[in-house]
Amino acid sequence: MTDELAADPARPVPPAPRPRRAVLLSVFAGFALFAYVLDQLTKLWVTSSMVEGERIPVFPPLLHWYFIRNSGAAFSIGENVTWVFSIIMAAVSVAILFQVRKLGSVWWSLALGLLLGGALGNLTDRLFREPSFGMGHVVDFIQLPNFAIFNIADSAVVSAVAIICILTLRGITLDGSRLTPERKDKSGDA
């Protein structure tokens, strides 16, 4: 009988209950804080226990700690415009905070929390590390073969983007609702 009700367009199946706002905000804040604190603690450990340029094998040849300071973005792109990255990270952080009020999904809360924590982790480096305010160099130290050297903040951002891509492909919106084929068609027409 429930299959008949579900198939009857006059009696749509009610949506699954949404998580409470406090839970969503707790997940968001918890993951933002986790990513930020872990990033800053690992950078503190690296700067206090390693010399810049030092490389320590962890699981050779797969993983090394390799302490560098990066003035650019991924793969050292834009090394001469460090201040632009500071502005972008600050703008992204503010934009994320504006989106929090729309949260209706635990997965979106997790993704935006990781994204905010990662952005703030690298923004902290840009603002407070040498050579100057707003133009500081980011501490990177995780080295994998044939890949850029990165840090925990970078990992949090990449993880957040992966989760956001999966949610988007599954049609799950920021408010937790799911795009139906009809809603997808309407949103594509605009």
* 8 classed as catalytic: no
Q: In angstroms, rounded to a whole number, what is the distance separating the alpha carbons of residues 121 and 140?
A: 12
Q: Two tokens at 182?
A: 């009809």
Q: What are the φ/ψ torsions at residue 34 (nearest 5 degrees)? A: -60, -50
Taken as a whole, the chain contains a residue count of 190
- 189 is a catalytic site residue: no
Q: Active site residue: 140, 175, 185, 189, which one? A: 140
Tokens 């706002």, located at residue: 21
Q: Are 69 and 79 in contact (CB under 8 A)?
A: no
The two structure tokens encoding residue 33 = 């804080």
* Catalytic residue, candidates 3, 39, 125, 154: 154
**CB neighbours of residue 150 within 10 Å:** 19
User: What whole-number distance in Å separates Cα of residue 142 and Cα of residue 68?
Assistant: 10
- How many CB atoms lie under 10 A from the CB of residue 152? 23
- Positions marked catalytic: 140, 154
